[in-house]
């Protein structure tokens, strides 16, 4: 079993914000797997799909969106981990990183939290930094540096802001590339995926001849959840 977790904040207020990059990737994966909706379990939404690679091997994948708000994301991950006793090496946490430019991805098998409260919560609850993660760059380049130099600039406000229209093309490419990186993680492992996808999404390396994942199916109902908590 593989657990793919996208971090973000639930609710319409945060739907299109930079901090919800993890949710964007989960939605793109759900589209790939033809998942129409998610099930509700305590403090997260999830969907399960079985699919086969071109070698005929079946792999079970769980997509998750924590509903705890960003700062308590680890609660949902720990709950699922303890319930299903999944291997930590088969967990992948996807989250936004304001220290990386939009259009850049970074996958690693471990590491520090880098000041991102969502992965910080996951590491705290799981009691280890040995958790694979995919960092999704959200920094807006020169525009970000310009805003940062302004008096009264708030990093918290920036990560909770919406993407600019001029960023949409790169954002779309990044989400698509992140989806493909997740599929590679499942199919080929983290080392090969890092070699291929780490860096600019405009320069993704062509893979060697490898089996591609085939989408599965899942249909369930998705409830609303509007609990308030820390968001950044």
Per-residue pLDDT reduced to its tens digit, 68-124:
999 999 999 999 999 998 999 999 999 999 999 999 999 999 999 999 999 999 999
Tokens 């099930």 belong to which residue?
A: 39
- Give me the CATH number covering residue 148: 3.40.50.1470
Distinct helix (H) and strand (E) counts, the chain: 7, 8
Between CA 149 and CA 90 the distance in angstroms is: 41
Helix (H, G, I), strand (E, B) or coil at 19: helix
Between CA 213 and CA 82 the distance in angstroms is: 27
How do strand 199-200 and strand 2-6 relate by DSSP bridges? unpaired
Instruction: Answer yes or no: is 216 within a domain.
Output: no
Highest mean pLDDT among 32-46, 200-214, 216-230: 32-46
Instruction: Answer yes or no: is 208 within a domain.
Output: no
Instruction: Answer yes or no: is 227 within a domain.
Output: no
Which residues are the active-site residues? 19
CA-nearest of 21, 115, 121 to 79 is 121
Instruction: Answer yes or no: is 160 within a domain.
Output: yes
Between CA 56 and CA 43 the distance in angstroms is: 34
Instruction: Answer yes or no: is 210 within a domain.
Output: no
Mean of the per-residue pLDDT values of the chain: 88
Q: pLDDT tens-digit profile of 165-190? A: 999 999 999 999 999 999 999 999 99
Residue 151: per-residue pLDDT: 79
* Structural domain boundaries, residue 98: 2-203
User: Who's near 145: CB < 8 A, 6+ residues apart?
Assistant: none
DSSP for 38-57 reads -EEETTEEEEEEEEEBTT--
* Cβ contact 185:107 at 8 Å: yes
Instruction: Answer yes or no: is 228 within a domain.
Output: no
Between CA 173 and CA 201 the distance in angstroms is: 7
3-state DSSP percent of the chain in helix, strand and coil, to 5: 40, 25, 35
Instruction: Answer yes or no: is 194 within a domain.
Output: yes
Residue 231: per-residue pLDDT: 67
* Cβ contact 164:16 at 8 Å: no
Strand order in the sheet with 58-66: 39-41, 44-52, 58-66, 2-6, 91-101, 133-139, 104-108, 199-200
Q: What's the number of domains the chain is made of?
A: 1
Instruction: Answer yes or no: is 78 within a domain.
Output: yes
């Amino acid at each position: 079993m593989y657990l793919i977790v996208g971090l973000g904040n639930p609710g319409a207020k945060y739907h299109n914000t930079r901090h919800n990059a993890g949710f964007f990737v989960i939605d793109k994966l759900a589209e790939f797997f033809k998942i129409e909706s998610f099930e509700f379990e305590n403090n997260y939404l999830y969907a399960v799909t079985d699919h086969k690679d071109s070698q005929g091997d079946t792999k079970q994948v769980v997509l998750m969106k924590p509903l705890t708000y960003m700062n308590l994301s680890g609660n949902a991950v720990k709950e699922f981990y303890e319930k299903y006793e999944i291997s930590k090496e088969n967990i992948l946490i996807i989250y936004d990183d304001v220290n990386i430019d939009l259009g850049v991805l970074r996958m690693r098998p471990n590491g520090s939290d880098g000041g991102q409260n969502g992965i910080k919560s996951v590491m705290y609850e799981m009691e280890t930094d040995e958790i694979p993660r995919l960092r999704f760059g959200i920094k807006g380049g020169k525009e970000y540096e310009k805003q940062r130099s302004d008096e009264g600039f708030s990093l918290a406000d920036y990560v909770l802001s919406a993407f600019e229209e001029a960023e949409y093309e790169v954002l779309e490419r990044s989400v698509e590339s992140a989806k493909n990186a997740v599929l590679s993680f499942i199919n080929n492992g983290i080392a090969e995926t890092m070699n291929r996808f780490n860096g600019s999404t405009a320069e993704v390396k062509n893979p060697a001849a490898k089996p591609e994942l085939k989408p599965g199916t899942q249909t369930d109902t998705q409830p609303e959840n509007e609990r308030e908590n820390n968001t950044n």
